[in-house]
Amino acid sequence: MIQKNCHKKREPVYIPHYGTCVVGIGEATVEEIDEINIYYATQLAMKRAIENLPTQPDHLLVDAMTLPVPIRQTSLTKGDQHSAAIAAASIVAKETRDRFMRKLHERFPVYGFDQHVGYGTKRHLDALDDYGPSSEHRLSFRPVADRVL
């Protein structure tokens, strides 16, 4: 399990960052992702994360996009490779999503979200074939879209 090993490496970094940094978490729903696409849904989630901060920043470092907010910002391509702040935010985001996926596994155990956290592994694809998508699957994404047409 590649993802599981990544999680084991990220979690020890996640906890200190989450405990000592100011963190705003934002998310987009499955319906929003399907409606506006992953790029704009990512922008929306980042905007919500900014809105969830206890204080508003005066400058943003953003990984490879510009956000529709009235805050000065610097967009860095491959930002997690060039900025410790972006790398830390990436770890927090990925670990937060992995934790969400493990909770989702409690509702939908047949998909194995606790193991592959949503990636298209053989087990996940087999479960999609056997049970169809759950209410949390993004219907616009392959391979889910290929299975619901």
Confirm if 101 and 114 have CB atoms less than 8 A apart: yes
Average pLDDT over residues 87-112: 94
Are 47 and 60 in contact, with CB atoms under 8 Å apart? no
The dihedral through the CA atoms of 70, 71, 75, 80 has a sign that is negative
- pLDDT bin (cut points 50, 70, 90) of residue 20 is low
Higher pLDDT, 142 or 37: 37
Q: pTM to 2 decimals?
A: 0.82
Q: Which phi and psi (to 5°) does residue 61 adopt?
A: -105, 125
Predicted confidence at residue 5, as pLDDT, reads: 46
Average pLDDT, the chain: 88
Within 13 Å, how many C-alpha atoms sit on residue 125's CB side? 8
Distances from the Cα of 49 to the Cα of 15, 16, 148, angstroms:
18, 19, 32
Q: What's the average model confidence in pLDDT over 11-33?
A: 76
Residue 21: what pLDDT?
73
Residue 56: per-residue pLDDT: 92
The confidence score (pLDDT) of residue 19 equals 55
Domains of the chain, earliest start first: 2-148 (3.30.420.10)
Asked if residue 11 has pLDDT above 90, the reply is no
pLDDT surpasses 70 at 14: no
Give residue for tokens 């963190």.
23
The CB-side HSE value for 30 (13 A sphere, CA atoms) comes to: 12
Phi (first) and psi of residue 41, to 5 degrees = -65, -35
